[in-house]
Amino acid sequence: MSCYEWQIGTVKIPTKQFPALYRAFVKEYNAIQQCRYNSLKSLYDYTMSIGKGKRNFDYLAHMQNNAAMYNVRFNIRFYDIDKLFSNGRKKPLHPTKKMYDFANTKTNDFMLDEGTVTISFNKLDHSVYWSVPENNHACERAHEQPEARLLFRLLQNVKYTRNSGGKIIGNDEYNRDNMQSGGGANYVVFSFGK
């Protein structure tokens, strides 16, 4: 069943804790990207061995037809396979680290789920911004991403002080259909702080 939903919010982190939270996020974010890169290399090597010596072997069709199996076996997302076949190539590109967005200490914005979900760190006011635009099961998909699970785990471990914390609000099509008094309004999905 469909469920169009969205979320947005900003959480202010205590000044002394923000650098550690940011460094921890970047370190683990890069570990996730490295894991995805290693999985893509393994898939590439496996597929190249299957097609070796076969004339006119259709690598793209093979990968697309077996994408569900590769998702389980190699932990590959469907759009990771597309990275290997740019510009209508019939033979896959060799995976490189440039295919993934590794972060450095200057990276403030992180895009998840094919660029639809945004995590932004504001170093000036020590806050974290979370945004999931409205789409069918968008929040559910967003929270399944390992980067999102990482962010919310880090936010839960912060020791919030006065003037820190925040709320992530959202709404969905079932809530909006509520016809009772006060019904249909946006609601708090997550709350951080005192």
Task: Look up the CATH architecture of domain 4-31+106-192.
Answer: 2-Layer Sandwich (3.30)
Provide the 10 A C-beta neighbour count for residue 155.
Answer: 21
pLDDT tens-place string over residues 35-60: 999 998 998 898 889 888 888 888 88
pLDDT tens-place string over residues 24-38: 999 999 999 999 999
Q: What's the pLDDT at 23?
A: 96
Q: What is the side-by-side order of every strand in the sheet holding 187-192? A: 109-112, 117-122, 127-136, 4-12, 165-172, 187-192
Q: For 171-176, what is the mean pLDDT?
A: 81
Burial environment of residue 131 by CB neighbours within 10 A (0 to 12, 13 to 18, 19 or more): middle
For the chain, what are the domain ranges? 4-31+106-192, 33-98
Q: Tell which residue, 45, 49, 88, 43, has the closest CA to residue 63.
A: 43
pLDDT tens-place string over residues 74-133: 877 777 877 888 767 778 889 999 988 899 989 999 998 777 899 999 999 999 999 999
Q: What's the pLDDT at 103?
A: 94
